[in-house]
Amino acid sequence: MNPLVLPLNIGKDDTFRLTWKSKLYQAKAALVLPRKLTSKIDVDEVIEAALLVVKLTEFGGTLRAKMLSALAPNDSSQNNPTDVYGVVMRLNIRTGRVVEFDDLRRTKSEKGAEHADFMSASSEVLPLDGDEKEILKKAFNSALTSPVLEALRQPFASFAPELSESWKEMKLSGIQPDKLVPFQMLFPNAQPIERFVEGERFVLDDLYCTNPSCSCSDVTCVVLKFDPASGQEVAWGGFRWSSDTDKLKVFPQFSSKFNASEWFKQFDHSSAIDLKLLLRSRQTFMRTEFIAARKAARG
């Protein structure tokens, strides 16, 4: 079975930078999973030793390429290939420290390479001795700053709440108890639940009831798509899923054209974590950790 390579929301704004061999690199990370995660044990194993592919692009080269592209968009002679490195490594997400390096590869490309390219045999493997591994490990551990680690931990926050507490800095006391709260509002860097239909991207936005006096087990799911006319995401469909009964209930306004069961199945197929496991985990988090934190915020 082919591994799942999932790009993470780390380094998207050049925040993940690495100094190595006296050069500054822009780093982008992807999580590599041998299979879909179907249990809490699977998730815990990933947290303790996550297999990551980190793409390193020389930062100076990136800036030069952007400048030359802006100044001479039609002159391809200025686009010189640059070395792009791919590091396959294991990281303890809980401690935020590198466990070991599996591989170091290099490719030359004007646009760099996809994370999956560094898992193939086509890229050049570079041997690393003990001293070089220690230098690289030190460089990575220095680059794993709090914002980078926060983004890396957010996809797993509902399974291990102790990993992330930055969300508690929000004004939780101002959130009304009768309002549904999106999980992405607390953890914007959590991996989106998405699927593609004929090249078009659809995202599942999951919202939770956080009223302490309510005992419902529903997860409200809204399917969003991009509307080119407005430039905004718009609701394409919606349903409620009960974590207790495992039943789906389509919103009335979508009932005639929206097959909730099929959409749920397809979102689950695209998800690296079993969708029911993920939603149950998030609901437990929102019904316990979030409600307790909001009560504390209100004093």
pLDDT tens digits, one per residue of 207-235: 999 998 988 899 999 999 988 888 888 98
- Binned at pLDDT 50, 70 and 90, residue 70 comes out as low
CA 175 – CA 293 distance, rounded (Å)? 12
CA 7 – CA 182 distance, rounded (Å)? 22
Pairwise pLDDT comparison (191 vs 110), residue with the higher score: 191
Q: Identify the bridge partners of residue 98 per DSSP, sorted by sequence position.
A: 91
CA 46 – CA 52 distance, rounded (Å)? 10
CA 173 – CA 80 distance, rounded (Å)? 54
Element (H, E) at 143: helix 130-143
- Binned at pLDDT 50, 70 and 90, residue 1 comes out as very low
Rg, C-alpha atoms of the chain: 21
This prediction has a pTM of: 0.86
pLDDT tens digits, one per residue of 173-189: 888 888 899 999 999 98
CA 83 – CA 91 distance, rounded (Å)? 24
pLDDT tens digits, one per residue of 78-134: 455 677 899 999 999 999 999 999 889 887 665 556 776 666 656 788 998 999 999
CA-to-CA separations, 221 to 2, 118, 196, 258, 279, in angstroms, rounded: 29, 35, 17, 13, 10
Q: How far apart are the first and last CA of the chain?
A: 51
Structure-block tokens of residue 154: 């957010």
pLDDT for 62 equals 53
Tell me which residue of 166, 177, 192, 195 sits closest to 267, measured CA to CA: 195
Give the amino acid at 162: E
- What is the chain's mean pLDDT, rounded? 86
pLDDT tens digits, one per residue of 257-284: 789 999 999 999 989 999 999 999 999 9
Tell me which residue of 108, 122, 115, 102 sits closest to 49, measured CA to CA: 102
Residues 6+ apart with CB under 8 A from 27: 10, 11, 16, 17, 18, 54, 55, 56, 143
Structure-block tokens of residue 4: 């799942």
pLDDT tens digits, one per residue of 122-174: 678 899 899 999 999 999 999 999 999 998 999 999 999 999 988 998 889 88
